[in-house]
Homo-oligomer: A and B are copies of this chain.
Amino acid sequence: MEEEAANLRVDGEDEDEQEHDPEQNSLHQPLLRRSPTLTSNPMAMIGAKVSHIESLDYEMYEDDLFMHDWRSRSSVQVFQYVVLKWTLAFLVGLLTGVVASLINLAIENIAGWKMLVVGELVLKERYFTGFAYFTGANLALTLVAAALCVQFAPTAAGPGIPEIKAYLNGVDTPNMFGVPTLIVKIIGSIAAVSAGLDLGKEGPLVHIASCIAYLLGQGGSDKHKLNWRWLRYVKNDRDRRDLITCGASSGVCAAFRSPVGGVLFALEEVASWWRSALLWRTFFSTAVVVVVLRAFMEYCDSGRCGLFGRGGLILFDVSGVIVRYHFMDLLPVAVIGIIGGVLGGLYNHLLHKVLRVYSIINEKGRMAKLLLSLSVSLFTSVCLYTLPFLASCSPCDPSIDAACPTTGQSGNFKQFNCPDGYYNDLASLLHATNDDAVRNIFSTSTPTEFRPLSLLIFFLLYCILGLFTFGIAVPSGLFLPIILMGSAYGRLLALAIGSFTSIDQGLYAVLGAAALMAGSMRMTVSLCVIFLELTNNLSLLPITMLVLLISKTVGDSFNPSIYEIILELKGLPFLDAKPEPWMRNLTVGDLAAAKPTLVCLQGIEKVSKVVEVLKSTLHNGFPVVDQEFPSTAGVPAATTELNGVILRAHLIAVLRKKWFLTGKRRAQDWEIRERFTSEDLAEKASNVDEIVLTEEEKEMYIDLHPFTNNTPYTVVETMSVAKALVLFRELALRHLLIVPKYQGAGISPVVGILTRQDLRAHNIMNAFPNIAKKRGEKGRNHGS
């Protein structure tokens, strides 16, 4: 994994060498670089392209300007802020519900129409025309999805959940939440799912909802923003984070119609920080989504939505099934869990290998990406079309209530190539949308519907498709492929056990799907609730819990969760809440010593010095230190004073406004407030090279005090890296100052400054190879 990550990074540097990278902590001057040095390269795979990433400011920066602004906020403004936050949460839910409904509608109609025509052609025994039509339609749809992704929004490919997870951890990935991404994701997801590819709309829906939340929060796209005054209160990284959390919950809720599950998914898997207030707000968003979906289904129930009809939204409702089981049934259920864990771990392992190969292919350019997508689509179409011919026809069971055989787009017993009164069980699974396939394989009270051979073919086919479809350049979710695989093996197992169990085969399929999800994604409570809300049957709860616990435990003994693997593969600097055990043996002082020289600024600094520092370094935050502080009455003579941290963005804002002083003096409060509001400082850093200064201006001074965050979090140099990481992560910091343990004349009040990259295990181990060696002996064994 590490070789690959390094490989990606080198390629990235070649591609983006001109781009400046403000987060980087090394001085980028090879001569200064010591070896071993703690350096970091903030490059990551965003979409299918390597680009630089930044950190987000989730910490409250308490500079004088902010504090003045904050103190002068009237109660009306505070009320506006609260109303705005709830309104935005409402809008996120509303829009997500509407968009999800429209996506469902489009997919059901496009795929349904395709299926209808193919079904008719097959019935007329025009097999080749049917094949050409089926394959052609699928290729065309795939082409639409892939071309849009490749041309307009590479970040729209894949599920987007890992990037959202990284965003909520404090890593800003460029172009993830723009308008093009949103539009491409919506259209691409419709096209890709309609094309019959083995992927779901669930992951993309989470990304779509997060995009909606992001765009709402800043009042429009980057170019065309709504400049509504109220919006200024939420234009900061903290409020944006909360909104995106609401978005992620709403997305899951819209995908599975699972409001509580959506909240828990965001809590357990996506979000890095959580507050009670947020629990409540996300819950509100998902409640809105559910109301919208319900209204939409009520509207469609009367047949006004074309082929959409009554299906579509609830994936599988088994509430009618009475579940009775005894202690003896727990054994096969435990077996499902164990197999789910093993298969999940194996799937993660193999998918990782496939993604590595794909990333090499994707590097070759746009044509390569398109061709890869089209090949996968072609392979999928050939398999889906031809495999059902291998299955023999089964006679309809008159004791079962459902229509048999059916020729329409949905229905559990597809006639396909069979005579009247017979159905093709494999066609019921393969000639359907993925949602329909899941519904069919979950169907209860139909113990003789599927034959073992058909299920086996289905299972193997979807294992192959599940591995090779995920990495192509179209919006793709992981939930559905895993559910399909899991349900197939669950139902197979039920057939194998036969009459030894009193649980319905359909429920085995549900449990299999849950087990494989837990085995691959390693969630427990949220998956449990999602499955409860999906199946609408609470009596399944205890055995679902058992299966999930077993398969997560088994899966965890093999490898990390699939999202963690993707995060690692993409090189996103995700910070885990739990420090590695060996981090206790290292102090932050060691880290500071391994970094390039610290660059400090003085409280009142020359303009030329500021410009030089900004140009020569790529740091994003600078400690501000006052030298030669005069001794006053009562306070012992001090030589230096720690003032705080100033951000690159703020320095550039000051330079751009050309707010300079002629002499080395402290500025008055009114001078600053005349020129600056805290909104001026809220913008992202632009390039320092764009600012043109005269020689005269360069000789002037800036008073940095009003812009300095006076309350930076600090650690003493003897602090262990483990505890510093906990501090950094729990408080969502961007910079952490290291202060000396000694007091005395001539000692600098700052020993170093730590950022996210400095605290990543991978980077530390590069700088301290001896720790990497020791790690093998002990590290592995200190599980939670």
Q: Please give me the 3 A-B residue pairs with the lowest Cβ-Cβ distance, nearest first.
A: A638-B744, A638-B742, A75-B781
Q: Considering the chains assembled together, what is the distance between the CA atoms of A719 and B726 in angstroms?
A: 19
Instruction: Give 22 A-B contacts (CB < 8 Å), ordered by A residue.
Output: A78-B783, A260-B532, A275-B578, A276-B577, A277-B578, A283-B528, A287-B546, A290-B542, A298-B326, A629-B744, A636-B746, A638-B742, A639-B745, A640-B742, A640-B743, A640-B744, A642-B743, A643-B741, A710-B718, A712-B716, A714-B716, A743-B744
Q: Considering the chains assembled together, what is the distance between the CA atoms of A279 and B549 in angstroms?
A: 11
- Most B Cβ at <10 Å: residue of A71, A82, A718: A718
Task: Please encode chain A, from 518 to 555, with 1 for each CB lying within 8 Å of some chain B CB and 0 for all others.
Answer: 00000011001100110010110110011001001000
List of B residues within 8 angstroms of A641 by Cβ: 741-743
List of B residues within 8 angstroms of A532 by Cβ: 260, 538
User: Is the pair B747, A636 in contact by a Cβ cutoff of 8 Å?
Assistant: yes
Question: Contacts A268-B276, A538-B538 hold; do A549 and B744 have CB atoms under 8 A apart?
Answer: no
User: Is the pair A718, B711 in contact by a Cβ cutoff of 8 Å?
Assistant: yes
Chain B residue at minimal CB-CB distance from A284: B549
Question: Is A678 positioned at the interface, with any CB of B under 8 Å from its CB?
Answer: no
Chain B residue at minimal CB-CB distance from A327: B295
- Most B Cβ at <10 Å: residue of A524, A739, A742, A783: A742
Question: Is A291 positioned at the interface, with any CB of B under 8 Å from its CB?
Answer: yes
A388 → B minimal CB distance (Å): 35
User: Is the pair B784, A283 in contact by a Cβ cutoff of 8 Å?
Assistant: no
Chain B residue at minimal CB-CB distance from A82: B783
Task: Please encode chain A, from 65 to 86, with 1 for each CB lying within 8 Å of some chain B CB and 0 for all others.
Answer: 0010011000100110010000
User: Is the pair A536, B533 in contact by a Cβ cutoff of 8 Å?
Assistant: no
Cβ-defined partner of A744 (8 Å) among B298, B319, B744: B744
Question: Is A727 positioned at the interface, with any CB of B under 8 Å from its CB?
Answer: yes
Chain B residue at minimal CB-CB distance from A576: B276
Name A residues whose Cβ lies closer than 8 Å to a Cβ of B. Answer: 60, 62, 67, 70-71, 75, 78-79, 82, 259-260, 263-264, 268, 274-277, 279-280, 283-284, 286-287, 290-291, 294-295, 298, 319, 326-327, 524-525, 528-529, 532-533, 536, 538-539, 541-542, 545-546, 549, 552, 577-578, 584-585, 587, 629, 635-644, 710-716, 718-720, 723, 726-727, 730-731, 739-749, 778, 780-784
Cβ-defined partner of A637 (8 Å) among B71, B636, B714, B746: B746
Chain B residue at minimal CB-CB distance from A282: B525
User: Is the pair A584, B67 in contact by a Cβ cutoff of 8 Å?
Assistant: yes
A719 → B minimal CB distance (Å): 5
Question: Contacts A327-B295, A549-B287 hold; do A637 and B745 have CB atoms under 8 A apart?
Answer: yes
- Most B Cβ at <10 Å: residue of A525, A577, A636, A720: A525
User: Is the pair A545, B744 in contact by a Cβ cutoff of 8 Å?
Assistant: no
Chain B residue at minimal CB-CB distance from A330: B291
Q: Considering the chains assembled together, what is the distance between the CA atoms of A532 and B715 in angstroms?
A: 46
User: Is the pair A268, B259 in contact by a Cβ cutoff of 8 Å?
Assistant: no
Cβ-defined partner of A715 (8 Å) among B275, B546, B713, B743: B713
Q: Considering the chains assembled together, what is the distance between the CA atoms of A745 and B744 in angstroms?
A: 4
Q: Considering the chains assembled together, what is the distance between the CA atoms of A62 and B71 in angstroms?
A: 40
User: Is the pair A290, B62 in contact by a Cβ cutoff of 8 Å?
Assistant: no
Cβ-defined partner of A629 (8 Å) among B524, B538, B742, B748: B742
User: Is the pair A741, B276 in contact by a Cβ cutoff of 8 Å?
Assistant: no
User: Is the pair A524, B584 in contact by a Cβ cutoff of 8 Å?
Assistant: no
List of B residues within 8 angstroms of A629 by Cβ: 742, 744
Q: In the complex, given contacts A268-B279, A529-B529, A587-B711, what are 10 additional A-B residue pairs having Cβ atoms less than 8 angstroms apart? A: A62-B723, A70-B584, A71-B778, A260-B528, A283-B525, A294-B542, A635-B742, A636-B745, A711-B718, A711-B723
Q: Considering the chains assembled together, what is the distance between the CA atoms of A778 and B275 in angstroms?
A: 23
List of B residues within 8 angstroms of A784 by Cβ: 82, 277
List of B residues within 8 angstroms of A545 by Cβ: 259, 283, 286-287, 290
Q: Considering the chains assembled together, what is the distance between the CA atoms of A740 and B529 in angstroms?
A: 50
List of B residues within 8 angstroms of A276 by Cβ: 268, 577
List of B residues within 8 angstroms of A742 by Cβ: 629, 635-636, 638, 640-642, 749
A340 → B minimal CB distance (Å): 16
Chain B residue at minimal CB-CB distance from A625: B743
Chain B residue at minimal CB-CB distance from A77: B781
List of B residues within 8 angstroms of A747 by Cβ: 636, 638, 743
- Most B Cβ at <10 Å: residue of A276, A529, A552, A644: A276
Question: Contacts A719-B711, A739-B739 hold; do A274 and B277 have CB atoms under 8 A apart?
Answer: no
Q: Considering the chains assembled together, what is the distance between the CA atoms of A259 and B529 in angstroms?
A: 11
Q: Considering the chains assembled together, what is the distance between the CA atoms of A264 and B584 in angstroms?
A: 32
Q: Considering the chains assembled together, what is the distance between the CA atoms of A533 and B780 in angstroms?
A: 39
Cβ-defined partner of A730 (8 Å) among B82, B295, B731: B731
List of B residues within 8 angstroms of A635 by Cβ: 742
List of B residues within 8 angstroms of A715 by Cβ: 713-714
List of B residues within 8 angstroms of A712 by Cβ: 716
User: Is the pair B720, A62 in contact by a Cβ cutoff of 8 Å?
Assistant: yes
A263 → B minimal CB distance (Å): 6
A325 → B minimal CB distance (Å): 10
List of B residues within 8 angstroms of A82 by Cβ: 783-784
Q: Considering the chains assembled together, what is the distance between the CA atoms of A238 and B540 in angstroms?
A: 34
User: Is the pair B525, A263 in contact by a Cβ cutoff of 8 Å?
Assistant: yes
Q: Considering the chains assembled together, what is the distance between the CA atoms of A295 and B279 in angstroms?
A: 34
List of B residues within 8 angstroms of A327 by Cβ: 295
Q: Considering the chains assembled together, what is the distance between the CA atoms of A783 and B549 in angstroms?
A: 39
User: Is the pair A542, B287 in contact by a Cβ cutoff of 8 Å?
Assistant: yes
Q: Considering the chains assembled together, what is the distance between the CA atoms of A60 and B722 in angstroms?
A: 10
List of B residues within 8 angstroms of A536 by Cβ: 538-539
Question: Contacts A79-B781, A782-B78 hold; do A538 and B542 have CB atoms under 8 A apart?
Answer: no
Cβ-defined partner of A62 (8 Å) among B584, B642, B714, B739: B584
User: Is the pair A549, B283 in contact by a Cβ cutoff of 8 Å?
Assistant: yes
Q: Considering the chains assembled together, what is the distance between the CA atoms of A346 and B713 in angstroms?
A: 42
List of B residues within 8 angstroms of A542 by Cβ: 259, 287, 290-291, 294
Question: Contacts A549-B287, A718-B710, A726-B731 hold; do A636 and B744 have CB atoms under 8 A apart?
Answer: yes
User: Is the pair B638, A552 in contact by a Cβ cutoff of 8 Å?
Assistant: no
List of B residues within 8 angstroms of A781 by Cβ: 75, 78-79
A547 → B minimal CB distance (Å): 10
Cβ-defined partner of A720 (8 Å) among B263, B280, B711: B711
Cβ-defined partner of A274 (8 Å) among B274, B640, B726, B741: B274
Cβ-defined partner of A749 (8 Å) among B639, B644, B743: B743
Question: Contacts A636-B745, A742-B641 hold; do A541 and B723 have CB atoms under 8 A apart?
Answer: no
A259 → B minimal CB distance (Å): 6
A10 → B minimal CB distance (Å): 34
List of B residues within 8 angstroms of A60 by Cβ: 723
User: Is the pair B524, A283 in contact by a Cβ cutoff of 8 Å?
Assistant: yes
Cβ-defined partner of A533 (8 Å) among B538, B642, B716: B538
User: Is the pair B577, A716 in contact by a Cβ cutoff of 8 Å?
Assistant: no
Q: Considering the chains assembled together, what is the distance between the CA atoms of A263 and B778 in angstroms?
A: 33
List of B residues within 8 angstroms of A782 by Cβ: 78
